[in-house]
């Protein structure tokens, strides 16, 4: 006897709809490896309908005074809190994430971030007006860009949806967002929440639309004539494809892509404290985080002691069922990702040593053991490329100059951290590290008020903060004659 799969639907212009041609794809719970739902495999007709809805809703939403958009976002944040348990259940099933961690580590910051951008809606600042030519006054208008096509990833589908829709709506844009084909459930639930708020407050539900589908669906969204901006969080390859597609009609592009964060540990560090924090920052969410602390560079004088402590911490770190409150992380998101992580381990060079883990665990699902790999060289594949799994690599460096060279010696430039008691050294390193974020004696905390975004192949544009809000606006110069 088979259990009927739940049916997820697109959300277009305030209605839940199947794909126009009826095609679907199965959605798998990574903790079990079994399908639990179907979702639309949207095609051109569905994208056209969503874009038309967002385009029609844009003028009225754009023209609202900021206080009214703030009211909507504050109500959405309240509704997230009221329906938190539904969101937690959807995200846990989406991703196999431990329920307790979704409740404590995702719901509170998401609500805070929505409320932050609700406030930002009323801070559309421009440079002061003035007379820069005799007889004329110039002013600056900051305006929304229009319809935004947004593509969210599978590692944090719910939180990344918030990072995208909250600043876009706050700035006066309308949205068509596509979740990953492996994790659509929580985004569809968010559509229900936002749609109900828009309806209650008398606004068009076409302001926010959700399209489910695969890479082809995303391509159709980015290449569509309606959106003025395309925003994606995803792989470098996906970002390059989006940038190329958007270039055909010069759409604005916002890219948050991969990372390979260096964690530079100097000999004066408190080893026990550093190992404890780095282990959490490396293994949280199964290492499926662009800022994860998975590339550790340790000064040679403490290398052996540090590696031993890190291997012990890995052995004590637990992965497992979503309802086990003692686990730090759940499974990898999908079978392809499990295959990718295994491949990195299988292709390790002879000089590498697996200090802990290195294998799949459990009889079902896509779980992988907390892993530590030492003895690595700067040009090794696992050092240069993003694993996106619970694998921490360790290299030994001699001095500050070499640490900087190796830390910067990758194609990614999203986040980094420095561990030292020497304030001057910390300041030198924060200046020298070529990454969008440098943490000192910590790794991975984020706040709504500060920007998140990188350089090089980690993309461009910022999430969170006033900088992230600005990315969803455009600047207009208005000049008026004083002669009347």
pLDDT-based confidence at 128, cuts 50/70/90?
Answer: confident
Between 115-129, 135-149, 286-300, 439-453, the lowest mean confidence (pLDDT) is in 115-129
**Mean pLDDT (whole number) for 274-290:** 98
Active site (annotated) includes residue 68: no
Q: What is the mean pLDDT of residues 100-127?
A: 94
Give DSSP secondary structure letters for 50-86. HHHHHHHHHHHHHHS-HHHHHHHHHHHHHHHHHTHHH
Give the DSSP H or E segment for 473: strand 473-481
Sheet of 252-256, strand order: 15-17, 10-12, 208-210, 174-178, 147-151, 229-233, 252-256, 459-460
Please write the tens of the pLDDT for every residue from 187-198: 999 999 999 999
End-to-end, the C-alpha distance of the chain in Å comes to 80
- Mean pLDDT across the chain, nearest whole number? 96
Report the distance separating Cα 132 and Cα 112, nearest Å: 41
pLDDT digits (tens, 9 = 90+) for 23-66: 999 999 999 999 999 999 999 999 999 999 999 999 999 999 99
DSSP of 225-274? SS-SEEEEES-HHHHHHHHHHHHTTT-EEEEE-----EEEE-TTS-HHHH
* 3-class secondary structure, 153: coil
- Asked whether residue 150 carries a pLDDT value surpassing 80, the answer given is yes
Q: Are 264 and 419 spatial neighbours (Cβ–Cβ below 8 Å)?
A: yes
- pLDDT for the residue numbered 484: 73
Average pLDDT over residues 350-371: 97
- CATH annotation of 6-257+458-478: 3.40.605.10
Task: Give CATH superfamily name and number for 262-447.
Answer: Aldehyde Dehydrogenase; Chain A, domain 2 (3.40.309.10)
What percent of the chain stands above pLDDT 70? Answer: 99
Q: In sequence order, what are the residues at sequence separation of 6 or more whose Cβ sits closer than 8 angstroms to the Cβ of residue 138?
A: 129, 130, 131, 132, 477, 478, 479
Reduce the DSSP state of residue 114 to 3 states and report it: helix
> Is 299's pLDDT higher than 70?
yes
pLDDT at 124: 79
Residue ranges per structural domain of the chain: 6-257+458-478, 262-447
What mean pLDDT is predicted for residues 440-451? 97
Q: Is the pLDDT of residue 3 over 80?
A: no
Q: How far apart are CA 47 and CA 139, in angstroms?
A: 37
Confirm whether 6-257+458-478 and 262-447 share one CATH topology.
no
For residues 451-455, give the mean pLDDT. Answer: 97
Q: What percent of the chain has pLDDT over 90?
A: 97
Whole-model pTM: value is 0.96
290 is annotated as an active-site residue = yes
| Catalytic pick among 91, 290, 355, 386 | 290
Mean pLDDT of 81-88: 98
Residue labelled with tokens 């096509």: 149
Q: How much is the pLDDT for 175?
A: 98
Q: Which has more confidence, 484 or 459?
A: 459
Write down the pLDDT at residue 123.
87
Q: What is the mean pLDDT of residues 419-438?
A: 98
Instruction: Indicate the pLDDT class of residue 2, thresholds 50, 70 and 90.
Output: low
Q: What is the pLDDT of residues 380-393, one digit of tens each?
A: 999 999 999 999 99
| Max Cα-Cα span within the chain | 83
* Res 367 pLDDT > 80: yes
pLDDT band at 1 (very low <50, low <70, confident <90, very high): very low
Non-local CB neighbours of 128 within 8 Å, separated by 6+ positions: none
Average pLDDT of the segment spanning 445-471: 96
- Per-residue model confidence as pLDDT tens digits over 204-262: 999 999 999 999 999 999 999 999 999 999 999 999 999 999 999 999 999 999 999 99
Q: Which is the catalytic residue, given 93, 106, 256, 355?
A: 256
């Amino acid at each position: 006897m088979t259990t009927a799969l739940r049916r997820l639907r697109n959300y277009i212009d305030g209605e839940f709809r199947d794909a126009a041609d009826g095609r679907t794809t199965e959605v798998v719970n990574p903790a079990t490896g079994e399908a639990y739902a179907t979702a639309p495999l949207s095609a051109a007709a569905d994208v056209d309908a969503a874009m038309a809805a967002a385009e029609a809703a844009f003028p009225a939403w754009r023209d609202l005074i900021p206080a009214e958009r703030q009211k909507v976002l504050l109500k959405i944040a309240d509704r997230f809190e009221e329906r938190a348990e539904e969101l937690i259940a959807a995200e846990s099933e989406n991703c196999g994430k431990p329920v307790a961690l979704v409740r404590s580590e995702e719901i509170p910051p998401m609500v805070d971030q929505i409320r932050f951008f609700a406030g930002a809606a009323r801070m559309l600042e421009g440079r002061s007006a003035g007379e820069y030519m005799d007889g004329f006054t110039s002013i600056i208008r900051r305006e929304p860009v229009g319809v935004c096509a947004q593509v969210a990833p599978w590692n944090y589908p719910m939180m990344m949806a918030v990072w995208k829709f909250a600043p876009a709506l706050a700035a006066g844009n309308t949205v068509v967002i596509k979740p990953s084909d492996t994790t659509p459930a929580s985004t569809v639930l968010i559509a229900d929440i936002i749609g109900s708020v828009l309806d209650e407050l008398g606004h068009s539900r076409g302001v926010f639309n959700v399209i489910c589908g695969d890479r082809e669906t995303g391509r159709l969204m980015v290449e569509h004539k309606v959106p003025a901006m395309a925003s994606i969080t995803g792989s470098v390859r996906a970002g390059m494809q989006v940038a190329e597609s958007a270039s055909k009609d010069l759409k604005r592009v916002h890219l948050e892509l991969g990372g390979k964060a260096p964690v530079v540990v100097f000999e004066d560090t408190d080893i026990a404290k550093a190992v404890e924090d780095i282990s959490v920052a490396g293994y949280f969410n199964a290492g499926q985080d662009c800022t994860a602390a998975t590339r550790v560079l340790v000064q040679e004088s403490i290398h052996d002691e540090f590696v031993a402590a890190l291997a012990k911490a890995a052995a004590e770190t637990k992965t497992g069922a979503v309802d086990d409150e003692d686990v730090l992380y759940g499974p990898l998101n999908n079978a392809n990702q499990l295959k990718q992580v295994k491949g990195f381990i299988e292709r390790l060079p002879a000089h590498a040593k697996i200090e802990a883990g290195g294998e799949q665990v459990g009889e079902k699902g896509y779980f992988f053991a907390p892993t530590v790999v030492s003895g690595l060289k700067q040009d090794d594949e696992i050092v240069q490329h993003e694993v996106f799994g619970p694998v921490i690599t360790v290299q030994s460096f001699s001095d500050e100059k070499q640490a900087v060279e190796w830390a910067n010696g990758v194609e990614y430039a999203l986040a980094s951290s420095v561990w030292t008691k020497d304030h001057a050294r910390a300041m030198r390193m924060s200046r020298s590290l070529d990454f969008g974020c440098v943490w000192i004696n910590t790794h991975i905390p984020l706040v709504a008020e500060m920007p998140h975004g990188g350089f090089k192949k980690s993309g461009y544009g910022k999430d969170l903060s006033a900088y992230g809000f600005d990315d969803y606006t455009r600047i207009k110069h208005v000049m008026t004659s004083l002669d009347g």
